[in-house]
A and B are shown apart, each in its own frame.
Chain A
Amino acid sequence: MISTLVRSPRVAVLLPALLAALGGCKGQGGCTTEYCGTVVFAASGEPSSLLPAVSTQAIERDVFDQVFLKLADIGPDGGTFGDSGFTPELARSWEWTDPLTLTFHLDPRPRWQDGPPVTAADVAFTFDVYRDSIVGSQDREALAHIASVTATDSLTVVFKFRDRYPEMFYDATYHMRILPAHLLRNVARATWQTAPFGRAPIGAGPYRFVSWTPGQSIELAADSTYFLGRPHLRRLIWRFAGNLNNAVTMVLAGEADAVEVLVTPANIAKAKADSALTLYPYPGSTYNFVRFNLRANGDRSKPHPVFADPQTRRALVLALDRPQMVQAVFAGNAKIPPGPMPQLWSWLWKSQLTPAPFDTLEAVRLLRGRHLSFHLAVPSTSPTRVQYAQLLQEQYRRLGVTVVIDQVDNATLEQQLESGKFDAAMESFQTDPAPSSSVPALWSRSGPTNWGHYANDHFDALMKTAASAPTRAAAQAAWEQAFAALDQDPPCIILYALDNIAAVNRRVADVRIQPDSWWGLVRTWRIPPSQLTERDRAGR
């Protein structure tokens, strides 16, 4: 009896609950309706700031996407072409006045959580902030095609573009969360990175900011007056676990309700075996690769002795048994992308493209009997990538290629990449929903993070064609051609794209995961009254 009591109820709250009973309860509220649930997210990291314009981390996006709204958001199909599929948020409707002019009509209902209504002036102010180089927003470059944003009246805002391309609407809506001008106008732009507003934000979204206990948690509360419908979950809490393993442990122990990714087969197996959890697979937004440095290690003026040769790079791609590696490390819970793409771009994934085959004979022919040697920088904080590096080292050893694995921390790896002091590096890249912004950033000649100095004019031209394709079908065909060109002259070895699997407590219903912003749809989640626990009813 005692052992059952101890084991079964996940008694993480047993003692406090007992003490609460002893000391008399406070703030419990006895909530029993559809709007009572509390969901705790186990987060691997902690935000630095919740001010969207200066955010850099996924965890920050997870939280502020509940507090701030866009003009419109990408629909469930993830389409970024034109405006089809986009769902209105702050904008009630929009129209193209001419090919370069997009007019948004704002919904008159939304109000900032401190009272004033959301106006077109807020939208114009937000654009001005995101484009201000002094603020230093990560999304500044993504808005470079937009020449101006002007408020013509309190509910109408006009976007003028510099040129015409298929993802104009996506650029106008996806990158910016609209900010309250009345609260931020007087904050000096040079101090936005450390603005106190970033630690106690006020938005117009479905949830209000409640508290941030550094090192512990952030709490949001549902805004019952939210103009698009009252969220079902009353409280959202992000609990900072410090790392993925701790986050998964918290969910398995019943101390948190959801974790966005499980990553390792061991975590997936444990979560599968836990009857309190439901697993939700969804397409991931990252892919992992080994980047080649085409310039000499530490000397950008000279070609790299190994990787300057396209045939050698292709040989190194063909020499790897990538399906076997995926099986060994992820027990099949990952896929080999047919190009530099995450599973998120499913429409592109469904194309005719196939990953380069495992062909040691061709690899040996291309290597022409040369004995190669290079260093591979691997982030020491990622056990899966270290394991991958070891498998890669062993497979290359059989072909007479010596790989020296350098395990370095992330900060060092980033510096090595930026300064060109590396031969090859194992990396992971989180993409946007649109290939047209994510692919060129890494692999075009002028890409800001083309650390390997890859230069392929043919590929660049094909990318340009793909990015300006008017329809998804045309873009798919153009990207296929571009990736085929990469296949012959590879800048990297594409290794895997994870099958993302989220684990959420079984009592939470209507769970939908948004691949580009995991908890973006949490306002639609609910906990049926019959499933409510004491923790769901507890309040401040």
Chain B
Amino acid sequence: MLAWLLRRIAASLAIVFVTVSLTFFAIHLAPGRPFMPPDERPMNPIVVHRLEQIYGLDRPLAVQYVRYFGALARGEMGESFSQRRPVAHAIADAVPNTLLLTATALVIDFTLGILIGLFQAARARRRSDVALANVTLFFYSLPTFWLALVLQLVCALWLGWFPTGGPTDPVMHASLPLLGRLGDRLYHLVLPALTLGLVGAGGTARFQRAALLEALGHDYIRTARAKGLAESAVLVRHAWRDALLPVISLAGVALPFLLTGAVLIETVFSWPGLGKLAADAISARDYPLVLGTTLLATCAVVLGSLVADLLTVAADPRVRVTA
């Protein structure tokens, strides 16, 4: 087991190194250049050249590559061109916002998805199951940005129930007491988290329903029923435990999403998270920031995958033996 774990960690580190290296060359060789102001006043080429000197972009690419990994080994991710501050600071500011948004969305996604899946499986092929199947399919197939725009238009602009964007109210937030500040945060979180959660729940519900229906066909379920157990106990205590394994795998795959965030949702709702940070960095050709966010996302993916494997091992003794 320990040898397996060590092999997995070594493979994870290799994946991170290769991914960051590929990103380094891809972003440097991609068309476009940094130091492009977002408005319409062109940068004087002399100033651009000076900035390239300041940030070491006038050196050969191989030298920049070695310097980047040298700095990374010392725990430095460099200075962001577009934010003019350390990449680590920019990422540190974005991570809590993304974690809050995506963790809330995942809670909505899995809670709602699992409950709907359970409900559907218990009433398989009845009218309510068919109706919910159509509803979940509808949400599952919706582009998230479209749902975000519709919710923003209806719930924020027309009805005025929720704010159009941002994580807090910049006018009132600082003057509110602790409870008020918490409420303000949650209030701003509703629309973006709901958008992500609803779309995700559509998929999770379908997944959970299919897994439960498969589990309900097994022999041990027939045995449980023959023993006279209530249908709810059969469903929840016996079938659901078995049907939870694929959902756990799904959650493992979803874990990296906690950090990689949701670019489109963060853009629509002006949510200052990692996804928006990465998208802005790419369009500004902010190489250190692109690499910083890539590094973090890659780490999240390999870590998520590792955690999912460990959870599966813990939940299923058969997998433990193989590992």
Decide if A and B are genuine partners.
yes
Please state if A215 and B177 are interface contacts (CB–CB under 8 Å).
no
Given A16-B183, A198-B84, A215-B277, A253 and B170 contact (CB-CB distance below 8 Å)? no
In the complex, A23 Cα to B181 Cα: how many Å?
A: 10
Asked if A428 contacts B40 (CB within 8 A), the reply is: yes
Task: Give a binary string over B82-106; 1 marks a CB under 8 Å from any A CB, 0 the rest.
Answer: 1111000010011001000000000
Contact with B along A51-83 (1 / 0, CB 8 A): 000101111000000000000000000000000
Q: Are B179 and A19 in contact (CB under 8 A)?
A: yes
For A17, the closest partner residue in chain B by CB is B172
Question: Beta-carbon contacts of A233-245 to B below 8 Å, as 1s and 0s?
Answer: 0010101111100
The answer to whether A253 touches B180, judged by C-beta atoms less than 8 angstroms apart, is no
Q: Which residues of B contact A415 (CB under 8 A)?
A: 31-33
Q: Contacts of A57 on B, CB cut-off 8 Å?
A: 37-39, 41
Q: A residues within 8 A CB of B70?
A: none
Q: Collect the chain A residues with CB atoms within 8 Å of residue B159's CB.
A: 6-7
Cβ-defined contact, A430 with B160, below 8 A: no
Q: Is B47 an interface residue (CB 8 A)?
A: yes
Q: A27-B174, A57-B37 are in contact. Are A214 and B163 (CB under 8 A)?
A: no
Q: Within residues 383 to 421 of chain A, which ones have a CB less than 8 A from any CB in chain B?
A: 408-412, 414-416, 418
Contacting residues, chain B, for A15 (C-beta < 8 A): 183-184, 187
Q: Does any Cβ of B come within 8 Å of A350's Cβ?
A: no
**B176 close to chain A: CB less than 8 A:** yes
Bound state CA distance, A199 and B93, in angstroms?
14
Q: Which of A10, A45, A242, A415 lies at the interface centre, i.e. has the most chain B CB atoms within 10 A of its CB? A: A242
Query: Which residue from B175, B179, B270 sits with its C-beta under 8 Å from A242?
Result: B270
Closest to A246 in B: B270
B residues less than 8 Å from A242 (CB atoms): 165, 267, 270, 276
Specify which chain A residues have a CB less than 8 angstroms from the CB of B164 in the assembled complex. Answer: 12, 246, 249-250, 253, 255
Q: Are A26 and B156 in contact (CB under 8 A)?
A: no
Tell whether, in the assembled complex, residue B90 and residue A214 are in contact, meaning their CB atoms are under 8 Å apart.
yes
Interface pair A16/B180, CB less than 8 Å apart: yes
Compute how far the CA of A19 lies from the CA of B173 in the bound complex, rounded to whole angstroms: 11
Is the beta-carbon distance between B85 and A216 smaller than 8 angstroms?
A: no
| Most chain B beta-carbon neighbours within 10 Å: one of A18, A49, A136, A449 | A136
Question: Which of A92-100, A163-171, A362-370, A532-540 contacts the other chain?
Answer: A532-540
Cα distance A516–B47 in the bound complex, in angstroms? 22
**Known interface pairs A412-B32, A449-B45; A23-B37 also in contact (CB < 8 Å):** no
Q: Name the distance in Å between A434's Cβ and chain B's nearest Cβ.
A: 14
Chain B residues within an 8 Å CB radius of A143: none
Chain B residues touching A, range: 35 or more
Number of residues of chain A lying within 8 A (CB) of chain B: 86
Contacts of B285 in A (CB 8 A): 411
Report whether B54 and A190 are in contact in the complex, using a CB–CB cutoff of 8 Å.
Answer: yes
* Bound form: Cα–Cα A217–B167 in Å: 10
What is the CA–CA distance of A233 and B150 in the complex, to the nearest angstrom? 35
- B9-37 interface mask toward A, CB cutoff 8 Å, 1 = contact, 0 = none? 00000000000000000000001111111
Instruction: Give the nearest-CB partner of B44 in chain A.
Output: A448
B237 smallest CB distance to A (angstroms): 40
Min distance, Cβ B187 to any Cβ of chain A, angstroms: 4
The verdict on A253 contacting B157 (CB below 8 Å), with A27-B175, A410-B283 known, is yes
**CB neighbours of B36 from chain A (8 A):** 410-411, 414
Given contacts A16-B180, A430-B40, contact A249 B152 (CB under 8 A): yes
Asked if residues B177 and A26 are in contact (CB atoms below 8 Å), the reply is yes
How far is it, in angstroms, between the C-alpha of A240 and the C-alpha of B170 when the chains are bound? 10
Tell me the bound Cα distance from A134 to B49 in angstroms.
11
Q: What's the nearest-Cβ distance from chain B to residue A154, in Å?
A: 33
Bound complex: CA of A410 vs CA of B283, how far in Å? 8
Please measure, in the bound complex, the distance between the C-alpha atom of A241 and the C-alpha atom of B38, giving whole angstroms.
14
| Cβ contact within 8 Å between A412 and B31 | yes
Q: Which residue of B lies closest to A535 (CB)?
A: B171
Task: Scan B279-303; emit 1 where CB is below 8 A from any A CB, else 0.
Answer: 0000111000000000000000000
Report the Cα distance A460→B173, complex, angstroms. 56
Query: Is B272 positioned at the interface, with any CB of A under 8 Å from its CB?
Result: yes
Tell yes or no: B245 within 8 A of A by CB: no
Minimal Cβ-Cβ distance residue in B for A8: B160
Q: Are B97 and A215 in contact (CB under 8 A)?
A: yes
**Is the Cβ of A411 less than 8 Å from the Cβ of B187?**
no
Q: Does A40 contact B (CB under 8 A)?
A: yes
Chain A contacts of B75 at CB under 8 A? none
Within 8 A of B (CB), among A168-194: 190, 193-194
A25 at the interface (CB under 8 A from B): yes
Q: What 1/0 flags go to B160-204 for Cβ under 8 Å of A?
A: 111111111111111111111111100100000000000000000
List A contacts of B167 (CB < 8 A).
216
Is A324 among interface residues, defined by CB-CB distance under 8 A?
Answer: no
Q: Quick check: is A152 within 8 A (CB to CB) of the other chain?
A: no
- Residue A38 lies at the interface, judged by CB distance under 8 Å to chain B: yes
Do A40 and B170 contact each other (CB < 8 Å), given the known contacts A11-B160, A250-B165? yes
| Interface presence of A1 (CB below 8 A) | no
Specify the chain A residue showing the minimal Cβ separation from B163: A12
Indicate whether A225 reaches chain B with its CB closer than 8 angstroms.
no
Q: Give chain A residues whose Cβ lies under 8 Å from the Cβ of B160.
A: 6-12, 253-254
Contacts A16-B169, A16-B187 given: A409-B46 contact, CB under 8 Å? no
A20 within 8 A of B: yes
Please give, as numbers and ranges, the residues of chain B lying within 8 Å of A34 by CB-CB distance: none
Known: A19-B179, A538-B175. Contact between A215 and B93, CB under 8 A?
yes
Given A11-B161, A449-B42, A138 contacting B170 (CB threshold 8 A):
no
- The smallest beta-carbon distance between B104 and chain A, in angstroms, is 16
Q: Which residue of A lies closest to B267 (CB)?
A: A242
A40 to B270, CA, bound (A): 15
Contacting B at CB under 8 A, from A11-53, are 11-13, 15-20, 22-28, 38, 40, 44-45, 48-49
Closest to A417 in B: B42
The reply to whether B32 and A217 form a contact with Cβ atoms under 8 Å apart is no
Q: Indicate whether A133 reaches chain B with its CB closer than 8 angstroms.
A: yes
Indicate if the CB atoms of A411 and B32 lie closer than 8 Å.
yes
B279 to chain A, nearest CB (A): 10
A217 vs B268: C-alpha distance in the bound complex, in angstroms?
17
Q: Is the CB of A199 within 8 A of B270?
A: no
Q: What distance in Å separates the Cβ of A223 from its nearest Cβ neighbour in chain B?
A: 19
13 cross-chain CB contacts under 8 A = A12-B160, A16-B187, A19-B176, A19-B177, A20-B176, A27-B174, A49-B84, A57-B39, A246-B164, A411-B32, A412-B31, A415-B33, A449-B45
